[in-house]
Amino acid sequence: MDKTEELEVIRIKDGEEPDPFDDQLAVEYPVTIFFNDQELVTLLCTPTYLEELAIGFLNSEGMIRSYDDIASVELDSEKGLIYVKTKKKKALTEKLFAKRTITSGCGKGTIFYNVLDSMRANKIERPLDITSEQVTSLMTELQQNSMMFKETGGNHASSLCDPTGMVVYHEDIGRHNAVDKIVGHCVKHNINIENKVLVTSGRVSSEILLKVAKLDIPMIISKSAPTTLSVRLARELGLTLVGFVRGRRFNIYANGWRLTDVHVTDHDSIKIKESILDEINKQVEDKEE
Confidence grade of residue 266 (pLDDT, cut at 50, 70, 90) = low
- Strand-pair category, 165-172 with 156-162: antiparallel
Per residue, the 3-state secondary structure of the chain, as one string, reads CCCEEEEEEEECCCCCCCEEEEEEEECCEEEEEEECCEEEEEEEECCCCHHHHHHHHHHHCCCCCCHHHEEEEEEECCCCEEEEEECCCCCCCHHHHHCEECCCCCCCCEECCCHHHHHCCCCCCCCCCECHHHHHHHHHHHHHHCHHHHHHCCCEEEEEEECCEEEEEEEECCHHHHHHHHHHHHHHHCCCCCCCEEEECCCECHHHHHHHHHCCCCEEEECCCECHHHHHHHHHHCCEEEEEEECCEEEEEECHHHECCCCCCCHHHCCCCCCHHHHHHHHHHHHHC
Cα–chain center distance at 58: 13
Catalytic residue among 45, 106, 161, 186: 106
Region 252-275: mean pLDDT is 72
Cα distance between residue 38 and residue 40, in whole Å: 6
Handedness of CA 134, 138, 139, 141 (dihedral sign): positive
Tell me the pLDDT tens digit for each residue of 168-218: 999 999 999 999 999 999 999 999 888 899 999 999 999 899 989 988 999
Q: Are 179 and 90 in contact (CB under 8 A)?
A: no
Confidence grade of residue 161 (pLDDT, cut at 50, 70, 90) = very high
Cα distance between residue 282 and residue 36, in whole Å: 31
Cα distance between residue 87 and residue 11, in whole Å: 53
Least confident of 16-20, 109-113, 246-250, 252-256: 109-113
Tell me the pLDDT tens digit for each residue of 217-242: 999 999 999 999 999 999 999 999 99
Cα distance between residue 225 and residue 251, in whole Å: 9
Q: Count other Cβ atoms within 10 Å, centred on residue 12.
A: 9
Q: Which CATH class is domain 132-277?
A: alpha beta
Region 245-250: mean pLDDT is 94
Cα distance between residue 119 and residue 112, in whole Å: 9
What is the residue-averaged pLDDT of the chain? 85
What topology does CATH give the domain 29-119? Answer: Ubiquitin-like (UB roll) (3.10.20)
Percentage, residues of the chain above pLDDT 90:
65
| pLDDT score of 100 | 46
* Between 33 and 152, residue with greater pLDDT: 33
Tell me the pLDDT tens digit for each residue of 55-79: 999 998 889 999 999 999 999 988 9
pLDDT exceeds 70 at position 280: no
Q: Where are the domains of the chain?
A: 29-119, 132-277
| pLDDT score of 123 | 86
Candidates 116, 120, 130, 278; CA nearest to 218 is 130
Binding residues: 244-249
Torsion (CA) 142, 148, 153, 155 in degrees, nearest 10: -70
| pLDDT score of 286 | 56
CA distances from 64 to 170, 240, 253 (A): 21, 26, 30
Percentage, residues of the chain above pLDDT 70:
81
* Between 120 and 75, residue with greater pLDDT: 75
| pLDDT score of 133 | 96
Tell me the pLDDT tens digit for each residue of 91-107: 665 545 544 443 435 44
Annotated catalytic residue 106: yes
Region 74-88: mean pLDDT is 95
